[in-house]
């Protein structure tokens, strides 16, 4: 008969065997992800003539690309040639396109990426994002977007994405936008009035970094139109925390240990900070949403309101499971978190680059101002008909988005084996769509591709390049940006309000250094000279 000691020893041996087996299984799965699968994909693409830099275990080619980007000066030249591959934004393009041609394979950590910049391929991939299509957001991109913005519509796939998008879509319709114009004007007015006062105190001309105030304007626009006039201070805190979280997240992503299985759950200083920031972000989102819900209940109101938050609450069930298919309270929280960051980040960065370019190209600034005064006049009486007449302003904004797209790359992964034109795309291969490189390719835009020339959009986007799909500032296909019309109306209003009051001149304090994190941004802000008119 076995003794108690023998039984305990037997149990210990079984436990250790199971633990060792689990370790081995996890190790094999890890090695499959970071070594065997990348090498398999490399062989498949090499057989089709696609070259690229050597495979680097775990870290990929990011250190080499980053080091290349750091060889360029902090203050880049501000000449009139924009035909480069933006080495400080996407250094991998500047480094590898000249070596390997229009397509190349490289590794973003252990993620194998095929880089393409051909409009037909870009269109095919983005069209493949439909429900049941061949492509989905890459796992790395999904992780970063979901970590920052929660499980809002931008992060979703399948039927859940379709339900959330359909719920949000009416808010961004052209008819709904007509009722938001006054709120957008009010959102911009206080900051621009502050500029007027500062310029007057400075004697009529002021060298000023506008980027913080442009962010404030965009934040107020989102607050006033989507969440109510009294939501701005909460929204301001929310955006600040999201920005801080993004900085910590990107710093973590650059470290090798962050990508080891289980590391993100360890109680490191950085992981605890990210957990704390995430909790504070969620707390503010819940405060924003629950304040509206409680006000409606306490005052026995018949409606949650006609802004985005009101529309979402009216459509939502009471469930709080963010894995549920229906649109529920969890959907409201997640989409509120998404809209606050994405809604103001994309607009404010485009506007920052637009003001910088207007200062540098006075002939286009003068044409835009002349059009604004003709279409709108000297007062604040904006309406959709007047805004639709701002063709030159729209041309300028399109040209800025060509040169400085908010998202210069998009990454999608093949859900199954498929074909793109002459290429076989194996399941698991990521397609990196080089949007900014495509926007600056003379094959599609002509020999003046390096020039700032809004006139190329005089007859609309369809005539600006060949083919029209070479212009992708808002993505494309079923998952294009839901807020295209909202964004254009907002930017037209803000540019109009600025140019009616100020002449913009280049500042000697401006350091030109675009960079790319979640969006393309001016690293050192935007200094311009504001001169009172």
Binding residue ranges: 481
Partners of 503 in beta bridges: 531
DSSP at 391: H
Continuous segment of H or E residues that includes residue 484: helix 484-499
CA 171 to chain centre: 20
Neighbours of 384 (CB within 10 A): 13
Cα separation of 348 and 343, whole Å? 9
Binding residue ranges for heme: 481
Partners of 209 in beta bridges: 527
Pairs from 143-148 (Cβ < 8 Å, separation ≥ 24):
144/249, 144/253, 144/518, 147/245, 147/249, 147/274, 147/278, 148/242, 148/245, 148/246, 148/249, 148/341, 148/518
Q: Is the separation of the CB atoms in 199 and 532 below 8 Å?
A: yes
Rg of the chain taking only CA atoms, in angstroms: 25
Terminal C-alpha separation, the chain: 101
Residues 6+ apart with CB under 8 A from 523: 74, 88, 511, 513, 514, 515
Cα separation of 138 and 120, whole Å? 20
Q: Is the separation of the CB atoms in 289 and 212 below 8 Å?
A: no
Could you tell me where the DSSP H helices lie in 376-452?
384-388, 391-403, 435-439, 442-445
């Amino acid at each position: 008969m076995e003794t108690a000691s023998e039984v305990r020893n037997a149990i210990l041996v079984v436990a250790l065997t199971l633990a060792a087996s689990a370790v081995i299984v996890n190790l094999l799965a890890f090695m499959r992800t970071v070594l065997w699968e990348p090498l398999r994909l490399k062989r498949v693409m090499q057989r089709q003539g696609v070259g690229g830099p050597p495979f680097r275990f775990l870290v990929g080619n990011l250190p080499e690309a980053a080091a290349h980007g750091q060889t360029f000066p902090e203050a880049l030249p501000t000449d009139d040639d924009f035909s480069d591959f933006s080495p400080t934004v996407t250094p991998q393009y500047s480094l590898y396109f000249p070596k390997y041609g229009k397509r190349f394979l490289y590794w973003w950590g252990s993620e194998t990426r095929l880089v393409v910049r051909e409009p037909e391929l870009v269109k095919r991939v983005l069209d493949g994002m439909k429900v049941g299509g061949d492509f989905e957001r890459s796992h790395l991109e999904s992780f970063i977007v979901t970590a920052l913005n929660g499980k809002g519509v931008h992060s979703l796939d399948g039927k859940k994405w379709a339900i959330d998008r359909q719920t949000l879509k009416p808010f961004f319709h052209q008819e709904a936008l007509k009722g938001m114009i006054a709120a957008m004007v009010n959102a911009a007015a206080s900051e621009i009035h502050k500029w007027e006062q500062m310029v007057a105190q400075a004697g009529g001309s002021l060298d000023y970094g506008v980027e913080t105030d442009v962010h404030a304007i965009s934040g107020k626009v989102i607050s006033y139109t989507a969440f109510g006039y009294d939501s701005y201070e909460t929204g301001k805190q929310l955006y600040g925390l999201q920005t801080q979280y993004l900085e910590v997240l990107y710093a973590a992503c650059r470290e090798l240990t962050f990508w080891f299985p289980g590391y993100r759950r360890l109680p490191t200083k950085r992981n605890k900070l990210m957990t704390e920031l995430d909790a504070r972000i969620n707390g503010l989102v819940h405060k924003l949403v629950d304040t509206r819900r409680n006000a409606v209940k306490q005052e026995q109101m018949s409606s949650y309101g006609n802004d985005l938050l009101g529309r979402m609450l009216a459509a939502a069930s009471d469930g709080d499971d963010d894995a549920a298919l229906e649109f529920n309270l969890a959907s409201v929280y997640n989409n509120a978190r998404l809209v606050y960051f994405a809604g103001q980040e994309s607009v404010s960065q485009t506007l920052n680059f637009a003001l910088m370019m207007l200062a540098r190209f006075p002939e286009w600034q003068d044409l835009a101002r002349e059009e604004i005064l003709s279409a709108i006049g000297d007062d604040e009486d904006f309406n959709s008909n007047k805004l639709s007449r701002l063709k030159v302003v729209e041309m300028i904004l399109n040209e800025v988005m060509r040169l400085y797209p908010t998202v210069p790359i998009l990454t999608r992964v093949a859900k199954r084996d498929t074909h793109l034109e002459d290429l076989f795309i194996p399941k698991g291969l990521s397609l990196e769509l080089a949007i900014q490189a495509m926007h600056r390719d003379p094959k599609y835009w002509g020999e003046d591709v390096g020039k700032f020339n809004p006139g190329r959009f005089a007859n609309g986007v369809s005539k600006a390049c060949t083919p029209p799909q070479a212009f992708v500032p808002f993505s494309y296909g079923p998952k294009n940006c839901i807020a295209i019309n909202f964004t254009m109306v907002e930017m037209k209003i803000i540019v109009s309000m600025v140019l009616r009051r100020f002449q913009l001149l280049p500042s000697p304090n401006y350091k030109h250094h675009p960079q790319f994190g979640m969006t393309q941004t001016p690293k050192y802000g935007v200094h311009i000279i504001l001169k009172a008119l």
